[in-house]
Every structure is written in structure tokens, then in C-alpha cells.
Amino acid sequence: MQSEEPGAVVPHAGICAGQLAFLFRLRKLGGIILSTPRRKRLNRKGRLQAAKKWIPTYEGKNLVRGYKKWFGVDFICAIKELEMLGHEINEKYKKQILKQEEAKRKAAKERKRSKKEELIDDPSWQNAKFYFIAGYTSNGVPYGITWEEYEEKYSETNQDDTSDDSQDNLNNDFFDDVPF
């Protein structure tokens, strides 16, 4: 086995020594390595400027879809910006896109709502021993608040406090036990 000197550069798998040296120089100079292309990080003003040069080079059939993919925006934004640049978009096509986007939003909202209901209906965060399972150890043993701890802590608080501030006291008592 080779002995490595302290501070020696060890090549990573899939990266040649030249690439590794370049990455270290970038980090040393404070350079930023981003994997997202610049054209997809542009704001509207930048996209409109870049689009003036890009549109004449586009060879596809659907300019709106191409703009959407190239600049990483949604259909509605692509339509608005192409219209700002003076391109006419068919009204029927715009209505169809708006309908599809609205259907996507509704479906996402429904998925979110059903996922929330599923969590409420299926309390996988509880079992016979634990009122709340905060997590699992590396061996798969659950840890959290046991039913006994829950009943001791919160049944005493509710019996002692009959005022309107009982909810505030309940929250404060919970955070008193937190070690940080």
C-alpha cells in the first residue's frame, strides 16, 4: 500500500489530474462551480436579451416549447416573454396551455391534500409504546416520547391549569425540557 504524504492530492475516481487541479484552483480563487447552465439562471431581463439572439437559431417546430426548455421556465412565462419580444402566439394554443397548467396545479394541490390526509389517517409516528416516534437509531430501535411521559407531562399540566393560558403553558413546559 502506498504511503501518502500529508497534504498530497489524491485523484478522485472519474476525474483526471488536470481537472482536479482546475477545481482546486477555482476553489482557491473563490470561484463558484455551478452545474446549472447560465441561461437557466437568468432573470426575465437577461432572458429577453439572450432570446433575441437565440430565436433566429431555433430550428424546432414549437417555439414556445423550445423557449421553455432552453431557458428553464414554464409555458405561461415562455408565452408572455415571446409576446414581449413581438412573436404572435395562437389564442387557441394559449388557452390550451392555460388549461393544462391549471389542471397541473389542481392535481398537485390534490396530491398534497391526500398526502396530508394519509399522514393523519396512518399514524406511523406512533405505536403501542411511543406517543411520538422522533426517529430510529442505526439498529432500527425507535426513540421519542413514550405514552407514559406524555400522560405524566401533559395530564398534570392540564389538571393544574384551568385558565385560558393553558395552551401557552403547555407549549412553554414542552420547551423547558429541550436542552438547547
Residues 76 and 109 in one domain: yes
Higher pLDDT, 36 or 107: 107
CA 98 to chain centre: 25
Q: Extract the C-alpha cell encoding 19.
A: 481537472
Q: Extract the C-alpha cell encoding 179.
A: 436542552
Query: Which of 59, 96, 104 lies closest to 79 in space, CA to CA?
Result: 96
In a domain, 104, yes or no: yes
Q: Where is 130: in which H helix or E strand?
A: strand 130-136
- The pTM of the full predicted model, rounded to 2 decimals, is 0.51
pLDDT for the residue numbered 179? 60
In a domain, 109, yes or no: yes
Burial of 153 (0-12, 13-18, 19+ CB in 10 A): middle
CA-angle at 84, arms to 83 and 88, nearest 5°? 20
In a domain, 86, yes or no: yes
pLDDT for the residue numbered 1? 47
Residues 116 and 129 in one domain: no
Q: Are 21 and 28 in contact (CB under 8 A)?
A: no
**Domain total in the chain:** 2
148: containing domain: 123-160
Give 120-176 pLDDT, tens digit per residue. 666 677 778 888 888 889 998 888 888 898 888 877 655 555 555 555 555 555 556
Give 93-106 pLDDT, tens digit per residue. 999 999 999 999 99
